[in-house]
Amino acid sequence: TRVVAWHVGAWMHPEHGLGMHVFVPAQRDAPTNMINNAISVNSMHKLRIAQDLALFNLEASEARSDFDGRAHLEAWKDDPVWQPVRENAEQLTAIRDWCEAVVAANLVFELLVGELFRGGYVMSTAAANGDFITPSIMGVAEGDLERDLSYTKDLIGGLARDEKHGRENIEVIGGWLSQWVPTSLKAARSLEPIFSEAENSPVTFEDTLTRARERVRETLGELEIPTPKELDQ
């Protein structure tokens, strides 16, 4: 129960932070209704998962005397494992360029940190330890990400392949990637200790991080955007 209360509970905070303070401002500043709508749905996806995790935390607190419903607050505020993730999420909320926010959140943070935690850790280890509920919540979040990646690739791919401004757009996007990849890699690496906390862990942190890096490479390859050297550092 500690892993669920402490770590899974802590994940509601970046979900809420991205939904309310990254994607809401981005959709407000984006230039067309089509882009606004796509980012708005992205925001609702994040807020829904945050709410699902909060409600699950509340119900578990009421159902089990050994479940600490406030543990997630301490984890998010003070646990060294979570501080780089918190720093990454809070820095994302300070971005003022709507397109940079989408790139930094969906192409960097979500692929290096979000998928690593939700799919690489929770969905891979929970069932092996008798938990069949949290994987269903995280599975919805992973499905949401596929939809949100789809619009992100359409958006960024269009900018990268623009006949007139494509080269300059790729340079700008490349600068964003070089800035944000180190931050999210640091956040991802900070989560390594939790992989050894579960009694039964069928996956290793290094394998999970390797898959996350490959996911970034494959996604950028689809967009014909060079992979930043920072991804291998």
Cα distance between residue 219 and residue 107, in whole Å: 8
Q: What is the band of 143 on the pLDDT scale with cuts at 50, 70, 90?
A: very high
Domain boundaries, the chain: 2-224
State the average pLDDT for the chain.
97
Q: What is the band of 48 on the pLDDT scale with cuts at 50, 70, 90?
A: very high
Cα distance between residue 111 and residue 210, in whole Å: 11
pLDDT tens sequence across 192-210: 999 999 888 889 999 999 9
pLDDT tens sequence across 93-122: 999 999 999 999 999 999 999 999 999 999
Question: Is the full-model pTM beyond 0.95?
Answer: yes
Q: Measured in Å, how far apart are the chain's first and last C-alpha atoms?
A: 35
Instruction: Name the CATH superfamily, with its identifier, for domain 2-224.
Output: Ribonucleotide Reductase, subunit A (1.10.620.20)
